Amino acid sequence: MPDEPGVEAPDTFEFETGIENAPVEPYQASEIRVFRAPKNTVRMTVRDERSYIRVRPVNASPMAHSDRYVSLLDIKNEEVAFIKDLNDLDEDSRKVIEEELAHRYLRATIERVNSIQMEYGVTYWDVMTDRGKREFVIRGHENTHWASDSRLLLTDVDGNRFEVVDYTRLDAHSIQLIETNV
Amino acid sequence: MRLADPLPDQIQKKLYPVLETDEEIHITLESDLDAKGRFQPSWLIVTDRRVMALELNGAGDDIAVPLEDLTRVAVEPLVGGSCLEVSTADDTIPLIRYSQSRVDVFNEAQRGIEQHIEEKPFQVKTEFPRVVCETCGRRLPTRDGLCPACVSKWGMLKRICAYLGAHRAKAIAMVALFAVLSVAELLPPKITQLIIDDAFENGDKELLFWFVAAMAGLLVLRWLGEMANGWLTAWVGARVVADIRAQVYHHVEYLSLGFHDKQKTGGLLSRVTRDTRNVRSFLVDGLPFLILRWMTTLGIIGILFYTNWVLTLYILIPVPLIIIWGRVLYRRLRTYYTRMWRQWEGFFTHIQESLSGIRIVKAFAQENREVGRFKRNARDMFALEYWTEKQWIYYFSTMGLLNFLGFVVVWLVGGGQVLGQELTLGELILFYFYLQMFYGPLRWLGRVNSWMTRAMSAAERVFELIDMEPENYEDKNAKQMLQTRGEIRFHGVTFGYDAALPVLRDVNLHIRPGEMIGLVGKSGAGKSTTINLICRFYDVNYGSITLDGVDLRDIRLEDLRGHIGVVLQEPILFNGTIRENIAYGKPAASFEDIMAAARAANAHNFILAKPDGYDTILGDKGTGLSGGEKQRVSIARAILHDPRILILDEATSSVDAETEKQLQEAIARLIKGRTTIAIAHRLSTLRDADRLVVLEQGRVVEEGTHEELIANRGHFHHLVRLQKATSEIMEVA
C-alpha cells in the first residue's frame, strides 16, 4: 500500500509562474550555455534566446557512466537539456556543471582499506577515500554489492555510499582484506 | 541552548569576534563534511541574528547570512548526503553539506532556522536515536539497537537457557543423567587397570569375575542412560525451539510495516526456519556433548593426577598447543560461517523471487538466465563450502599430529616409569585409555566452538527480531475506543518514510463523520501515505492526527484498526475458501451475515455460480477469481467487518464497464453512513464524494466539491482536462 518510500515522483502541474515550459525534446549540448547568476543559481540559455533559471544537472547513470549522460532538470524536475558528453559544452559551461555534479554526488572512492572487521554479520570498515579517512559500518550482504568482478559498491548503515573502482588495483593489504571479508 | 555541539578553540576564535555583545547563540552543529566534501568537520552556527557555516582552515569559504535576509531554509537531498540551503531574495545559498549520518540532527536545525525566519518560538527536538554503543564506542548497526560486539556469547547462552526454565524438572533430570553417564564412562578404564594390577597379578579368578560383572553392569547402565538422556534432550531441545519459533513468528506479525518494508521475505523466512533450527541443533547435539565432555575431562584429569601426577603433567604439554591452534582457526572459520549464512539467504531470496515471478521469467524467455544465476549461486556456494571444509581437514590432521605427541610421551615417559617400577602396567594402560578419552573431546573442542558460534549468531539474529519494538498493541496508556463517530483531523502533519524526505508537509484536514472524501493528485503526491497514516501503519514526524479529538497514538491500536476497513486496488485474498476470506476480519460471523455482505457487494451471484459456492477454495493471492470478482470479495469483507471508517484505494480501476457498474453499486452501499476516504486516478469515480482534497507534492492545495473545484479552474480543473484529453486519445486509438 505505501507509495514508494522516499523520493517523490516529479509533478507535472502547470504553474502560473511565467517560467518557460520544458521543451518536447530536450535541448542538446551544442544549443545551450550554462552559467551562474547570481552566484549560487545555475541558469541555462538556449541559443541566447530562451532562459531557464535554476537548472540542476543530474547523472542519468551515476554508477555505470558517472562521467557522461548528464541531464539538466528545471525546477519542476523536467528534463530541459541532455548532454551526452560534457566535452560537447563550452569550457565555462562545463566547469559550472562539473562543480554542480561534484556538489550533488557525495559518493566516496576507497583508495585504501585499513581494516575490515566482521562480527555477526556486521562489518566495521576503516578506509582511506579520495575525500579523506572514514570509518563506517555495513549491515547485511545486500549493502555490499559487486557491480562487476572487481568493482565494489558499499552502502553503510546510514545510507552513505562508498565505492571501490577496481579492488585488484589497490595495495596488497587492501586486496587481501577485501578478498577474505567480502 | 540546544543542538549544541562543542566548538573547538579555532572556531571559537573565529566566531566570537564576529558576534555582537548581546548576540545569542542558538545552534552549533558539527557536520562531518567540509565545503569541499572531504571528511573533515565544519560547523553550522545559528544565532538570533545570523546563520553561519564555519570551517577549521577555510577562511575564504566561511559563509554568514543575516537572519533578516532569509526567506526560506530547506534541506536539499543529495546523493550520499544532504545540503542545508538558505534562500535570500535573489539567491539560494548552499550553506553546509553533511553525510547521511547527520541527517536527523540537521533536519532539526532546518526546523530551528525556519522558526527563526517565521518568528515562531524556537523549539527543537534534542533527543536523537543512539548511533554509538555506550559501552565500547563502536558504531551501532541499527539506531538504538544492540551492539553486536557487546552481546556476549555467554549472555546469549544464558538467554537460550532461560527458555529451559519452563521445563525445569526435565532440565534437572538431564543434568543428573549427564553426571551418571560421565561416571559410567570414566569407570571402565579404571576397572581395566584393577583387572591387570589386582586380578592378574594375584591370579585371583573370583576378583576377575566381579570386575567383569561390574564392567558389564556399567555398560548396561550407560546404554540405559544414553537412551533416556537422548530422549530427554530431544524433547527439551525441540520444545525450546518450538517456543522460540512461535515467539519469533508472533513477533514478526506484530512488527510495524516500516520494518516489513525494509526486509526481504527470504531473509525473514530463513530466520524463522534455518536460524531456529541451528539453535535447536546446538541445544540437542552441541550443548549435551559439551557438558558431558567437560564433566568427563575434569574426571579424567582428577584420576590421572591421583594416579601419577608427573606423567599427567607431561601429558598436559600439548594441550595449550591444541587450544591455541583451535582458536586461530576458529577466528577464520567464523567469518566463513557468517558468509555461508549470507549466501544461503541470497539463495533463498533468488529461488523465491524467480519462482513467484515465473510468469514474467517465462514471458521474457529468461529461464536460461535464471538457471544461470542459480548455477552461479550454487558454484559460489560450492567454493565457499569447499574452502571451509578444506580448512577443517587441515585443522583435523594437524590436530591428530598434536594428539599423537601425547601418546609418544606416555610410552616414552610412562614406559620408562614402568621399567623403573614407579608405575604399574595397569596404570600405564589406564593412562593410555584415558588419553584417548581426554584428547578426543579436545579435538572436538574446535567443532563445539564453531557449533556454538553458529548457533549463537543464529540465536542473535533470532533475538534481534524478538527485541525489535513491535507495534504497540498492548500499550497500557492507550485509551479504549469502542465507539467512534469517525471524525478525523490532521493537524499540521509532516511525514516522510525517510525523515529527510517529507512526503506530506504540514497537512491540515478535517473529515467530518460520515463524509466521503476523495483524495486527488498525481502519483507520489502523498495520497497512499495519507491513508497509511490514518491506519497508523506509520507515526507522523510532526503534528498529529486525531480521531474524535483523540490523538491516534493514544488510541489502542486494536480498537483503531477495528474501526477501519480497507478495500485495496490489488485486493489481497488468502489461501482458503471464499467464505473464510469474506469473514477474515470477523471470523465469528454467521453464514447468513456472510451471505448478506456478499449480496451487498454484488458478489453473491457469481459466487453461487461456482460449483463449490462459498466453499470454493482460492489459491494464493486469490487465484481462481477474476480481478473484478476479487474486488467484490474484498468489498464484501469490508462490509462484513462493518467499520466506521472506510478506505477505498483505487477500488474500481482496470475493470470493464459492466463490472465497474456492479462495483460502483457495491461501493455505494458500502460507504453509506461511513466516513470514507477514497483514492482514484479516474476522477469520474469520485463524483459521489462530498468533498475532494487535491494533494500536490505532499501539500493540500485545493479542497471543495466537484463542482466548486471545476469552477475554480485550478489544479483539479487542470487534472480533469488532462484526463479528458487522454481518454479522447484512447477513444480515437
Domain ranges of chain B: 9-117, 153-467, 485-563+685-733
Among candidate residues A104, A130, A156, the one where a domain is terminated? A104
| Residue A93 sits in the same domain as residue A131 | no
Q: Is B93 on the interface with A (CB under 8 A)?
A: yes
Residues of chain B with pLDDT > 90, as a percent, come to: 8
Q: What is the pLDDT of residue A170?
A: 93
Asked whether residue B609 carries a pLDDT value surpassing 90, the answer given is: no
Chain B contact for A148 (CB, 8 A cutoff): no
The CATH class for the domain spanning B153-467 reads mainly alpha
Please state, rounded to an integer, the average pLDDT across all residues of chain A. Answer: 82
pLDDT of residue B58: 63
Q: Is B696 on the interface with A (CB under 8 A)?
A: yes
B345 reaches A (C-beta below 8 A): yes
Whether A13 maps to a domain, the answer reads: no
Q: Are residues A41 and A96 in the same domain?
A: yes
Q: Does B81 touch chain A (CB under 8 A)?
A: yes
ipTM above 0.95, yes or no: no
Strand order in the sheet with B488-495: B504-511, B488-495, B542-547, B550-551
A139 and A78 in a common domain:
no
Give the CATH fold of the B9-117 domain. PH-domain like (2.30.29)
Quick check: is A17 in a domain?
A: no
Say yes or no to pLDDT of B477 above 80. no
d(CA B345, CA B274): 10
Give alpha helix (H) positions in A41-125: 91-104
Put residue B37 in one of left, alpha, beta given phi > 0 → left and psi -120 to 50 → alpha.
Answer: left
CA–CA separation, B99 vs B80, rounded Å? 6
- B79 with B32: CB under 8 angstroms? no
Helix axes B591-600, B627-641, angle to 10 degrees: 120
Task: Assess whether A173 and A115 both reside in one domain.
Answer: yes
Per the structure, the count of domains in chain A is: 2
Q: Please give the pLDDT value at position B455.
A: 75
Residues A116 and A175 in one domain: yes
B338 has pLDDT over 70? no
Closest among B517, B540, B308 to B432, alpha carbons compared: B308
Nearest to A160 among B99, B649, B696 (CB): B99
User: Which chain A residues touch B526 with a CB distance below 8 Å?
Assistant: 3
| Any B CB within 8 A of A149 CB | no
CA distance A7 to chain B (A): 7
Beta bridge partners of A70: A59, A83
**Range among A12-26, B311-325, B327-341, B714-728 rated most confident:** B311-325
Spatial CA neighbour of A153 closest among A126, A182, A175? A182
Interface with B, mutate which of A41, A61, A120 (most B CBs under 10 A): A120
Q: Does A7 touch chain B (CB under 8 A)?
A: yes
Angstroms from A27 CA to nearest CA on chain B: 25
pLDDT band at A2 (very low <50, low <70, confident <90, very high): very low
Is there a single domain that holds both residue A176 and residue A150? Answer: yes
Residue A7 domain flag: no
Residues A52 and A120 in one domain: no
Average pLDDT, chain B: 82
Q: Are residues A40 and A99 in the same domain?
A: yes
Residue among A129, A141, A158 minimizing CB distance to B342: A141
Residue whose C-alpha cell reads 449480496 in the numeric block: B599
Domain of A35 in residue numbering reads as 27-104
The tens digit of pLDDT for each residue in A35-90 reads: 998 888 899 998 888 888 889 999 988 877 877 899 999 888 888 999 999 999 99
Q: Do B80 and A108 touch (CB under 8 A)?
A: yes
Per-residue pLDDT tens for B422-439? 888 888 888 888 888 887
CB contact under 8 A, A137 and B461: no
End-to-end CA distance of chain B: 65
- Count of CA atoms in the C-beta half-sphere (13 A) of B41: 12
* The predicted structure's pLDDT at residue B331: 65
Shortest CA gap A129–chain B (Å): 9
Residue B589 pLDDT level (bands cut at 50, 70, 90): confident
List the 581-610 stretch of B: residues with Cβ below 8 A of A. none
Exposure b/e, B150-178, CB count within 10 A at least 16 = b? ebeeeebbebbeebbeebeeebeebeebb
Position A1 in a domain: no
CB contact under 8 A, A124 and B138: yes
The residue ranking higher by pLDDT, B493 or B276, is B493
**pLDDT, average across residues B406-420:** 88
> Any CB–CB contact under 8 A between B702 and chain A?
no
Mean pLDDT of B496-517: 85
At residue A13, the pLDDT reads: 40
Q: Cβ of A16 under 8 Å from any chain B Cβ?
A: no
Rounded CA gap, B273 and B211, in Å?
50
Does A3 map to a domain? Answer: no
- The pLDDT, as a whole number, for residue B557 is 83
Whether A106 and B94 lie within 8 Å, measured CB to CB: no
Q: Higher pLDDT residue, B527 or B498?
A: B527
Residues A115 and A62 in one domain: no
- Which of A104, A120, A155 corresponds to the end of one domain? A104
pLDDT tens column, B49-89: 899 998 887 655 688 899 889 998 988 888 888 999 999 88
A93 with A133, same domain: the answer is: no
Binary contact (B335, A181; C-beta < 8 A): yes
Smallest CA–CA distance, residue B41 to chain A, in Å, is: 11
d(CA B108, CA B85): 14
Which CATH number does B485-563+685-733 carry? Answer: 3.40.50.300
Confidence of residue A18 (pLDDT cuts 50, 70, 90): very low
Tell me if A125 is assigned to some domain: yes
Q: Is the pLDDT of residue A15 over 60?
A: no
C-alpha distances in Å from residue B242, one per residue of A52, A154, B266: 65, 37, 20
Question: Mind listing the pLDDT tens digit for each residue in B192-244?
Answer: 988 988 888 888 888 899 999 999 999 999 999 989 988 888 888 888 888 88
Q: Which pTM does this prediction carry?
A: 0.61
Question: Cβ B140–A137 below 8 Å, yes or no?
Answer: yes
In a domain, residue A37? The reply is: yes
Structural domain includes residue A65? yes
pLDDT of residue A96: 93
pLDDT of residue B97: 92
Residues near B634 by beta carbon (within 8 Å), at least 6 away in sequence: B567, B568, B571, B572, B573
In angstroms, rounded to a whole number, what is the distance separating the alpha carbons of residues B229 and B231?
Answer: 5
B355 and chain A: CB distance < 8 Å anywhere?
no
Q: ω before A38 within 30° of 0 (cis)? A: yes
Based on the fold, state whether residues A100 and A112 are members of the same structural domain. Answer: no
Q: Is B526 on the interface with A (CB under 8 A)?
A: yes
Confidence at residue B121, expressed as pLDDT on a 0 to 100 scale:
79
Residue A128 in this model has a pLDDT that exceeds 90? yes
Q: Are residues A96 and A123 in the same domain?
A: no
Domain boundary among A66, A89, A104: A104
- The answer, for B558 touching chain A at a CB cutoff of 8 Å, is no
Place B727 in a pLDDT band, splitting at 50, 70 and 90: low
A2 neighbourhood in chain B, CB within 8 Å: 257, 261, 497, 528-529, 532, 537
Query: In whole angstroms, what is the distance from residue B273 CA to residue B241 CA?
Result: 10
What per-residue confidence (pLDDT) applies to B698?
A: 87
